[in-house]
Structure 1
């Protein structure tokens, strides 16, 4: 008999595009299709993207309240009336599903962990309070489910929050094929590139500060989410005398072209579970400068920083690496392809289903 799996993918009811987490959904769907599995696509709100066998509770899309939609997919999942072999939960939250079928959770560090994030202060902290309380009541489910973390950094945080031991890691899928087209062994321009949504949680002000301290030109690329934050970055750049250019909503082709010119990639976000743009940049031949407080240091440990002062020095050092090192980074990035992600995840799922 064909396997039957329900994929918990709350984000398909929130956005038409595929973010880093969305790439995981897409890879899960493709993996299950390749393996001939009957699957359901479960979200709280009606999907904005075309998916197979959608199951949802609310008949319209809701673009906000991300954390709470992760919890509310529980009620959608209960609507699946066939006998399932497993729930494959790509939303990272241990909603109580283990009593219905095996529950496999692919997760990053929980938002309620003590890692640096936008949820650490201000209105975000208030927004997260009910979520934190609910998650605290789900520790029993966390002990029943099987977690796969998206980095060892995340695994450590998951273990601490849920008081379990997370021993399995599969790094997320990266479109290395597209960004590899930017790789070459010729000369590169002396500027660093930063990629991230223009929103406060991405800590892009660190890129501005690094440019000011190092006197190196920087280019920030990202979709414009918060106009107020965008203006704040411009104001900070003028105040600090930074040579920073902010480019919003570039096409993938424009980003690839820019990557073919840049020398260094600077990742500004402390507490990042993994950092997909880091691997994209590596595949293009850029040298990553990444926070020590992040999962990115697991894939690019050579130039890791503790603070912006250290990062500003490393940026200049990274500019001078030889072509052989760029080639090594380019080749290392191939280990994070979508094909390899699907292969490793299926190996884990198959092991769980037969245990």
Structure 2
């Protein structure tokens, strides 16, 4: 068997053809390794959709469900190889440190006591039961592995759940160059935009509540994951007489066109570990309003809300002017989150292990 320098744990490759926020972490890892001519292989539980990358997997078919379980089950694939380094983009401390050094890029653990769909219903609490059954093994691995968090918000939750010191933070990569194409200092329209997958965990009803209480038009943009949730949102906006458009599965070019017109971005997901659309909006010159209870608070604490009433006040205030200088500042602040910065920072963390 050929010597493997780096095994990239990327469970989601077997779940979807597209690349979500986490999928963009995978791509950035692959680019980082390829640019430095470092041999690597990807590790997933189910068969990847993308056959162009070197991969090892266990299931001979794709499995688009059971995301959290696949993060654990990837262990059975990973232990088949002995690389110089496991670079884990799936975020869970599966026990690999006894085989090779293990570096984990992680958001807050799903069993953390943070607002999310996993704390909102009995169904989701039962869904996460296997994690609680193996929590001691996960904690042990967290103490042995090197964990890097995607925000200070996540770092605090990681430290609390795994009973370790707060890990180092490296913010995730954002395609700043692409979204800057929507930036201009021309007059913009008085509406807000929200970006997020159409699924319950994204709490998109908050955008409808904001539109209803403020009287300001909102546009929700997202890939359609849950049709019944979309129907619920449509019903809610009718009941509240809220001026909200819901646009599903837009192309990136269509998304840019909307961002180029909007004045405000509203992040609806309370408890989000980071929130990449916040940075995409900022790069586009759109001023964000974000939950205090989220990783995005670290980026724009001056425009954060605790409840919808507070968000309404912020929204109306920011719509009063064109805020050219503020839009410029948001764009400049977004530059810190470039993919190049991310790849350089991650490489600095792993280089001493593989060389």
TM-score by length of 1: 0.96
Alignment of 1:181-330 (within 5 A): 181-319=181-319, 320=321, 322-330=323-331
Aligned to 1:11: 12
Alignment root-mean-square deviation, CA: 1.3
Match of 2:170 in 1: 170
What is the match of residue 135 of structure 1? 135
1:345 aligned residue: 346
Q: Distance in 2 between matches of 1:51 and 1:6?
A: 16
- The CA deviation string for residues 187-230 of structure 1, in whole angstroms up to 9 with x for no partner, is 00000000001110000000000111111000000111111111
Q: CA 1:287/1:140 → structure 2, altered by over 3 Å: closer, same or farther?
A: same
- Point out where structure 2 has 5 or more consecutive residues left out of the alignment: none
Q: Deviations over 1:73-130 (max 9, x none)?
A: 11101122xx421100000001000011100000000000000000113211211112
Secondary structure, counterpart of 1:15 in structure 2: coil
How many residue pairs get aligned? The number is: 351
1:230-284: per-residue Cα shift (whole Å, max 9, x none)?
1111111111121111011110000000100000000000100000000000000
Q: Deviations over 1:20-44 (max 9, x none)?
A: 0000000000101111211110000
The structural deviation recorded for 1:316 is: 1.2
Structure 1 gap segments, 5+ residues each: none
Counterpart in the other structure of 1:114 = 113
State the partner residue of 1:43: 44
Asked if 1 retains the 8 angstrom alpha-carbon contact of 2:85 and 2:353, the reply is no
Counterpart Cα distance in 1 of 2:189 and 2:104: 42
- Deviation, 1:132, is 2.4
| SS of aligned partner of 1:221 | strand
CA drift of 1:59 comes to 0.7
Counterpart contact for 1:13–1:43, Cα < 8 Å: yes
CA contact under 8 A between 2:95 and 2:137: conserved in structure 1? no
Q: Distance in 2 between matches of 1:101 and 1:13?
A: 24
Give the 3-state SS of the residue equivalent to 1:23 in structure 2: helix
SS in 1 for 2:313: helix
Query: What is the distance in 1 between the residues matched to 2:167 and 2:135?
Result: 21
Q: What CA distance in whole angstroms lies between the structure 1 residues aligned with 2:38 and 2:310? A: 49
Matches of 1:101 and 1:342 in 2, distance apart? 22
Whether the 8 Å CA contact 1:199–1:224 is kept in 2: the answer is yes
> Cα offset for 1:51?
4.4
- Decide whether the 8 Å contact of 2:11 with 2:45 is kept in 1: yes
Partner of 2:334: 333
Greater shift, 107-116 or 222-231, is seen at 222-231
- Could you give the per-residue CA deviations for residues 294-315 of structure 1, whole angstroms, max 9, x where no partner exists? 0001112221000011011111
Q: TM-score, normalised by structure 2?
A: 0.96
Quote the residue 2:25 is aligned against.
Answer: 24
Question: 2:175–2:338: 8 Å Cα contact kept in structure 1?
Answer: yes
Question: In the alignment, what sits opposite 2:103?
Answer: 104
Per-residue deviation at 1:353?
4.8
Deviation by residue 1:16-73 (Cα, 9 ceiling, x = unmatched): 1000000000000010111121111000011011343201011100000000100011
